[in-house]
Amino acid sequence: MYSKILILRFPKTEVAKPIVCYLVKDYDLTFNILNASILPRKEGVMVLELTGTRKNFKEGVNFLEHRGVQVQNASQEIKRIRKRCSHCGTCTAVCPTHALSIIRPEMYVDFNQKKCSVCELCVTACPTRAMEVRPSNKTFFK
């Protein structure tokens, strides 16, 4: 089995359609939605883990792209710049995977990168800009 975490960006014309369900039905892939939202301009963003055979994975990604969905490998990582972090905890309130948490009673923000789905919510929430998106060394099979 082959598995990757992907970032899907849906154009506003496709947001209301059950496109991801066709990955199961037509390509025998399974998915786990890690994060999903509809942005102010009505375009959608979804972070999901997609699993199946390499052949079906490639065909499923091609299907998404033909529907106008931008498919990105989560080949980015979230990094914290420790010098900038004031440990205010704002990022912990928006983190859907609990990769960011407050250690009590010290009130220290802990970042577990293995839990991070690269949804980027912490980047925009951080008032001191201590969270950054950086390229990782992971490769993407397509």
Q: Kindly list the structural domains of the chain, giving each domain's residue range(s) and its CATH number in brackets, ordered by start.
A: 2-73 (3.30.70.260), 76-135 (3.30.70.20)
Task: Compute the Cα dihedral for 51, 56, 62, 63 and give only its sign.
Answer: negative
pLDDT, tens digit (0-9, with 9 covering 90-100), for 46-105: 988 899 998 999 999 999 999 999 998 877 789 999 999 999 999 999 998 899 999 999
pTM for the model stands at 0.56
Report helix, strand or coil for 58.
Answer: helix
Structure tokens at 47: 């972070």
